[in-house]
Structure 1
């Protein structure tokens, strides 16, 4: 194993464009038509340099299609995309020197060890600092001596994360990057991308987990059925958030008071032995009213959870119709 692989330092067109371009990536009416299948429709995105940008949507919304178009893995039907001011179709080779990419499903040669897999990527990139690779493996608790086929799903994902980060790219494009990672490794991953941002990288972060995007992103775009439906700061996500509540009462249940509260939906009551359990979906602004009502009654259990993004989208768009 080579302990240190020196990287080339030649300034490229991307280096020059980085200094001049305001946006790390930009799309203009980007469209991919799959015929009867859903693609993306006239997508307009602008991601500023140095930000962590969340790309949020339910599974099948068009997130991966967008990423594949940006990387020129598939071709648009109409529209354009650029990275650091360079055309994603015409300047692919030059652009990819400065991108770290983690696909939604990361697979590699099954008989290569983790170390050999990462060395392979390092050589493709003309060399990386191998000490940094070892540091990333240590932080993510990855045994690089095992063959890829011996790894669990989570460890395969760690190899994918490391290969995306190891050359300290100008732009990180991450498609569901924490899939398969345990909670401790998720937290370490969040630290790594915050460090990348602090060092000047831009991160384009695709996810279907709202709480994850809230944790790490500066701005977010929401895509649904191939169309961009919302874009803004994380604080502006409040109108699409909701909570699923399950409240068990011992004795009287304030049915009329609860059902009359604005922002409460999917209201139902289920008997539970000598008690009654109320289930409902509640908008964040209505939580305080719910708590004030139930405080005057005997509550024996109160459970709140964040619905899946799919549930939140369905509820949000049902209200918009």
Structure 2
């Protein structure tokens, strides 16, 4: 199609001149690079910066993180979402601490066996930290590469990812980390999903989609699965000490995080059954909100108990506890529950 060396040199020169300043680009520590890649999955760069800096300040080494309790790790992740990333990372770091002398493995085949390490994370960390010749293929790279080649293959298919990794392989035999970052940065800053800045693209002359006028049609993606919508009822229940009832989740989604008692709308007696008492609940919600997950939407109505519960006569299930409103920072709350907390805090 075109000179590989010419294309690569133009792209890397552009990256050297235009890359955004990010704290994880200022380190060669493989643990920090790994952490940043995990945090950046499905999360915007500007959101990650603060979390990344706080995290490495609290857990500066693999051993520090390995020794930490999961609740504390999740607390430092609170607000980033996709909490399985934090749990998997914590598990993997423990493995590295115990079985690899607290040193991130340089061997890609060993690294990919760690919990939560998929093809993208393997390629990104191994190439950036150790210059291993692996091509990263994320959403940005799918977009850039499909447009460069005017490629109509469905980027949702695993076969397309595999094909892209093979096609990009010649470009990562040297300077792999720099090339991978340059491709992703080009997708983030220039070759954007909408209104790409084609006139400012450093490799425009190599772009077949630009030549054919098909940039806006690429990449090709099969239709997304329609999200399931689940109506949820959340209950705000106070006791005589002005504490509020919270519950640790048992469900796989947001497992072990804390929430105000929540039940699907069809389970209208859920809270009374859980406490084995009859609590008068307001019939009109005090707040409504929606929270989006990848394949699921929670449509939440928040209800308030009309009277305070006498906690001295109420035995709570093991997964429930009373929380002082000033102690919220001691518990790991998902974003939806934090929004509810901020709302009811004004009433205390």
Rg (Cα) greater in structure: 2
TM-score (norm 2): 0.25
Higher strand share: 1
Larger relative contact order (C-alpha < 8 A, sep ≥ 6)? 1
